[in-house]
Chains A and B, each alone.
Chain A
Amino acid sequence: MDKNLQVSISPHLKQNISVQKVMWLVVLALLPAFIHTIILFGIRTIWVTLTAIITAIISEALMQLLFNKKITITDGSAVVTGMLLTFNVPPTIALWKVALASAFGIIIAKQLFGGLGYNIFNPALVGRAFLVASYPVAITSGWVKPTGGFLSISQRAAESIKTAGNQTAAKLVDTVSSATPLTALKEVRKAASNPEIHDTAVNLWDKLYSFDFVENAFLGKIGGCLGETTAITILIGGLFLMILKIIDWRIPLAYIGTLGVLTWIFGGHNGLFTGNPFFHIFTGGLMLGAFFMATDMVTSPLTKSGRWIFAISLGLLTFIIRMWGGYPEGVSYSILIMNIFVPLIDRYTVPKAFGGGQE
């Protein structure tokens, strides 16, 4: 009766989960946002996405060939990187620049470190940071209006602000209406300290913080990178992953919460507690960053306490960069900076083993 029995170490039951499954679920979670980008910006976003994904896969395979490693492009991780990179670039970006960033992210940030599981930095964000360093203009201008939307404030809203022959004020209104919301806010904040155009600036500031505007931002009818204009669909995908427990709820919650509270307290022009946290939550890359980039398993802390520290620091850093930094948006840099600290966080948040607290 002896058959060919399999012998292996316990446990003999395994959960029905695998690295591949995790990666493809992330891809699935990004699909609604991807479709959303097509609706907002047209067919072109398909080419942008495909370029990023294909370059990521090819780069991964080439590097694995170069280093004599097993080719693992079917694990889906390169696809995830490619897709995430797409959400980090403007809809008008030249395809070759996307390819360059995608290759840079995979080769430099992932394969040189040993491939899947060993990278310190999020490859997609490294790709984006490379683009910002190399082609700052390409990634911070040339915005196009999404279907049915506008960049930061609508033409009508802009016109309703009477500039009364004040040229500086008129220029400010022009600048603001052709920038992304966070850039607009930065301009407005700067202008508010100039007495000559203070009133106009405050007026614009209120417009940005208005309910109408936040609603539009939530629905994606504003300008920005692909991932900045799809808050609602990214949120849906993020919640999907959260329910499946692929990502830890602590990171998005603490990240978004920290930034929300800080911007509510310090983000307004009428003193403390006059900021509009929802403006800051639904504009920029926060949704994408909090749900899909900061939660990247490889580059986030191992322990729950570590994840709290990590996410709260992210909120703080993003707040600092948005308020006082040189860039209007700080999500991607905040995550890259905190990636550096993950090994340290992991090292100093080792929990006491069961029974270790009583000796």
Chain B
Amino acid sequence: MKVLTFKGGIHPPEGKELSEDKSLKKLKIPEQVIIPLSQHIGAPAKPIVEIGDEVKTGQKIAEANSKISANIHSSITGKVKAIGEYLHPALGKARAVVIEKTEGDEWIENKKIEDYDSVDSEKLVEIIRERGIVGMGGATFPTDVKLSPPPWKDIDYVILNGAECEPYLTCDDRLMREKTEEIIEGLKIIMKIVDADKGFIGIEHNKPSAIKNIQKLCKNINNIEVKIVKTKYPQGAEKQLIKAITNREVPVGGLPLDVGVVVQNVGTSLAIYEAIVEGKPLIERAVTVSGEAMNDTANFIVRIGDTFENLIEKAGGLKDNVKKIISGGPMMGIAQHSVKNVPVLKGVSGILAFTDKKTHHDEELPCISCASCVDICPMKLIPSKIVKFIKNEKYEEADELEISACIECGSCAYVCPSKIPIVQYMKIGKNEVRKINAQKKQEEEK
């Protein structure tokens, strides 16, 4: 089978061998969970419980606050202990509901729809919204919004993203191997909702077992096909995956649905299946715990709100020479100050611990125009020049070089011999450019 890909990209050390053979293990329900109200892109959810309330597993505890927002559910059976500011792996600190476990694990009863084909698409989207499903790949965009394209946009393809191009992470791989059937059912549901002709599952070449399992099950489904994509970072970035599989290019500033495609992570597909067919809100997820500074590694199914500390401990604990702990993958993840009381969110796909050797900090030197970053940029930008403009506060010039197209994948910073923190400059620049353009728009409207 042909291995598909896009232009550019890098080959960082994969690190998957550390945990790819560890099958998914359901972790014991924690004594206490910290459930932040911001676990998705968009407005934080509004809490609908009060301190002292008793809640069941799967009970809604906070409500979506605007169109782009998501419901939050309790992940355990217990009692609301506090509502306030708590640590958050991405935002530093954010409002959260703390629930203390009581006896048992009593689930709230939800309607199960096994025959989803006979149900209206709108109804299915409503259920998905109700169950608080968001993108599980890390971006955490509310799934219901993504599945409601404007009526004038025809969707041809649904792509399930099983690339998992971030090094070290293996949770999607494990899901594809162990929850194969559920994931494919999820894809069918998505295809029904957006009325797509064809479904693809894009998987990187380095996951032969996952590919085999899914291929076996798809054999008799004529409108679903497995597409093998090259093991290359960032193969799992939405736009790059679409390019590889369909050869369509999402325009600058556009969305996949502008080219008739909807992309969902395999984990999201599983969550959709569980929400519709099993009536289960999004209260658990698969997390890889790995890295050279771990005594042992694991792939867990954990309740949302469990803590990093607990996961690390259950996986085998940290080595003494740990230097860095990351939420997410090593390329785009966020380094953590501490792991105590830091909760696992809907979008946390991995907890990685690294030693000094892997992450050594280097001094920034002047750019020598080696153009490594230009050669590998998957968005075909000129990072080195954009960074020079940003350093000199020439944001309009940076805008001309399409800085806003940057997906912050970090490939440029990975290859840079001068160790320039390019992603950081990109973030600053994008922010400034956005401000300038908003201001310009405002002035024009006047």
Contacts and interface: CB of A to CB of B under 8 A. Distances in A.
Interface of A: 1-3, 5-15, 17-19, 21-22, 72, 75, 114-118, 248, 297-304, 346, 350-359
B330 to A, nearest CB: 4
Interface of B: 10, 12-13, 167, 239, 243, 249-252, 254, 309, 318, 322-326, 330-340, 352, 354, 358-362, 365-372, 374-375, 378-382, 384-385, 401-402, 405, 408, 410-411, 413-419, 421, 423-424, 427
Most chain B beta carbons < 10 A, residue from A10, A21, A297, A304: A10
B339 A10 contact: no
A22 B370 CA distance: 10
A114 B392 CA distance: 15
B359 A13 contact: yes
B375 A350 contact: no
Contact of A2 (B12, B338, B366): B338
A117 B336 contact: no
A10 B405 contact: no
Contact of B414 (A14, A117, A353): A14
Q: Which of B13, B324, B384, B408 has the most CB of A within 10 A?
A: B324
Interface centre among B322, B331, B370 (most CB of A within 10 A): B370
Given A1-B309, A5-B323, A359-B252, A350 B382 contact: yes
B402 to A, nearest CB: 4
A12 B382 contact: no
Given A21-B417, A303-B374, A6 B380 contact: no
A180 to B, nearest CB: 33
A6 to B, nearest CB: 5
Given A19-B365, A72-B365, A303-B371, 19 more contacts: A1-B309, A5-B322, A5-B325, A10-B333, A11-B332, A11-B411, A12-B330, A13-B12, A13-B414, A15-B12, A17-B417, A116-B368, A297-B370, A351-B380, A353-B380, A353-B402, A355-B251, A357-B249, A358-B249
A297 B332 contact: no
Given A3-B322, A355-B252, A10 B371 contact: no
A15 B318 contact: no
B375 A10 contact: no
B423 A11 contact: yes
A355 B250 contact: yes
B418 A12 contact: no
B428 to A, nearest CB: 11
A357 B416 CA distance: 27
Nearest to A9: B424
A139 B434 CA distance: 57
A12 B333 contact: yes
A24 to B, nearest CB: 12
A3 B356 CA distance: 13
B365 A13 contact: no
A298 to B, nearest CB: 5
Given A5-B336, A12-B326, A353-B252, A303 B382 contact: yes
Contact of B251 (A5, A17, A346, A359): A359
B218 to A, nearest CB: 29
A122 B372 CA distance: 20
10 closest A-B pairs by CB: A11-B410, A117-B366, A353-B402, A297-B370, A354-B379, A11-B331, A12-B330, A7-B335, A353-B405, A2-B338
Most B C-beta atoms less than 10 A away, residue of A9, A12, A18: A12
B318 A13 contact: no
Contact of A354 (B323, B337, B385, B405): B405
Contacts of B378: 354
Nearest to B249: A355
A11 B328 CA distance: 11
Contacts of B322: 3, 5
B381 A353 contact: yes
A356 B423 contact: no
Contact of B330 (A6, A13, A302): A13
A352 B251 CA distance: 11
B338 A356 contact: no
Nearest to A4: B323
Contacts of B416: 14
Contact of A13 (B167, B323, B385): B167
A161 B180 CA distance: 84
Given A2-B338, A5-B336, A10 B423 contact: yes
Given A350-B401, A353-B402, A354-B249, A302 B385 contact: yes
Contact of B361 (A6, A72, A356, A358): A6
Contacts of B335: 5-10, 12
Contact of A298 (B12, B368, B421): B368
A300 B384 CA distance: 14
Contacts of B333: 10, 12
Contacts of A301: 371
8 contacts: A10-B408, A13-B414, A18-B418, A72-B365, A75-B365, A300-B369, A346-B385, A359-B252
B421 to A, nearest CB: 5
A134 B352 CA distance: 62
A355 B407 CA distance: 13
Contacts of B326: 12
A302 B371 contact: yes
Contact of B415 (A5, A17, A297, A354): A17
Contact of B254 (A114, A298, A304, A355): A355
A302 B415 contact: no
A19 B368 contact: yes
A357 B7 CA distance: 14
Contacts of B419: 14, 18
Contacts of B13: 13
**B309, B359, B417 — which one has the most chain A CB atoms within 10 A of its CB?**
B417
Nearest to A303: B374
A346 to B, nearest CB: 7
Given A7-B336, A356-B405, A12 B362 contact: no
Contacts of A72: 365
B184 to A, nearest CB: 30
A260 to B, nearest CB: 26
A197 B318 CA distance: 86
A20 to B, nearest CB: 9
Contacts of A118: 366
Contacts of B369: 117, 297-300, 302
A353 B408 CA distance: 14
A21 B365 CA distance: 13
A9 to B, nearest CB: 5
B330 A11 contact: yes
Nearest to B424: A9
Contacts of A18: 362, 365, 417-419
Nearest to A304: B375
A25 to B, nearest CB: 11
Contacts of A248: 371
A19 B322 CA distance: 27
A6 B325 CA distance: 8
Contacts of B252: 353-356, 359
Contacts of B413: 10-11, 14
Contacts of B371: 248, 297, 301-303
A3 to B, nearest CB: 6
